[in-house]
Structure 1
Amino acid sequence: MESLHATHLGKRYGRRAALTDVTLTVPAGRIVGLVGPNGAGKSTFLQLVCGLLSPTTGALRVLGAPPAADAKHLARVGFVAQDAPVYPTLSVADHLRLGARLNPRWDPDLAERRIAAIGVEPGRKAGRLSGGQRAQLALALAVAKRPELLILDEPAAALDPLARVEFLDHLRDSVTELAASAVLSSHLLSDVERVCDHLIVLADGRVRLAGDVRDLLRDGPHASLEELVLGSLR
């Protein structure tokens, strides 16, 4: 089964084209690194995948259906935004209770294990957590939905190096446990190298490169992921 399939996908904001003629397929079970310079169209693509935006042209299928096709389809997709949105006045435990009420596939044991793994007291207010802890809480809430696809838009952008590594390791472990797929947007190639096995490079709203990292490195002249990405942008 395919996680994502886009055919001549395009999105315009007035006269400005954010995405143009994006055609790609992502097999299920991959952790996808979505990379490209600022303004490449990464966030627009992820918002289309989540159903927050509608395409101007072309078609997109997510887990075999149009994005956000219905409530059941929404439950199959987890989303973590760049600012790790949590409610500062609610405790960690309050967030877990809210997640249980809002998500029909909620797994309380998984949620509690993820919170215990990051060492956060359930009674602490989210507003008193560090940036890394808030990001980990947002990830735990998304994972406990037991989604088939996780979408992450620069979730570790503001984290220090240690917190970033811990976040990425939890992401990889969660995807493995769920047997899910994930799309991780990041401006750091080190993030992609650590956890991703599939790559999409966007620039100027177009796909410059897409495929499994191992195949791309094997079939091309580049010796590293950095060379591969930079070569696709020239």
Structure 2
Amino acid sequence: MPGPIQSLERAAAILRLLAGGERRLGLSEVSSTLGLAKGTAHGILRTLQQEGFVEQDPVSGKYQLGAELLRLGNSYLDVHELRARALVWADDLARAGGESVYIGVPHHQGVLIVHHVFRPDDSRQVLEVGAMQPLHSTALGKVLAAYDPVAHGEALDAERKAFTSRTVTERADFEALLEITKERGWASDIEETWDGLASVAAPIHGRRRVPVGAVGVTGAIERVCEDGHIRSRLVAAVRDAARSISRDLGAGPF
């Protein structure tokens, strides 16, 4: 049986060291504490930083755990628990709003649909669990990009394809849109991804108020919108559902 890989053991030791205290650590502190040569410690830290597992303070140069570890930790929480906690609230939202409900999580520079409740009517519909949606144009994606630091970076760095004439593609405009999303606590997609369809979504938070996903409704623009804006009752219903799911996941009261 092959033995352990030394570089991985050292990387794990560095992550445990950074997780063990509240303060940031400098290169000298990391190398001396773990008995590593400075060059070795620096190379591992740089690799971990490139992967998002470690962040470096631009002023002090010291290191701390990165946002990607939050993502991995939340996935342990994980999609299964998120779906289980969201089932009842998603069903209630579909009945109250009269539209399809989607639960999405960040995945591979997009949004993975992990739960889908059909619109409560007799129309023919296709189950979209497992489908991927873009971060930059959908309501689910914009909420995740606004609240999840890794999704935020991915959305800014990715090519923002124009799906319709209303898709926001310019970086400055998109960043401003994310700021608005975070300020008001929800995102919309009014024919930015699909002609004739509109959506509204709000973030789902887990323990320690870390974003773990988003919930939203999607439907025909004439039902979801009024005078060019998302109907206020749908915004309220989606935000209530997101808060309820978040509380069930341990986020506490909002």
TM-score normalised over the length of structure 1 = 0.28
Higher strand share: 1
TM-score for the superposition, normalised by structure 2: 0.26
Larger Rg: 2
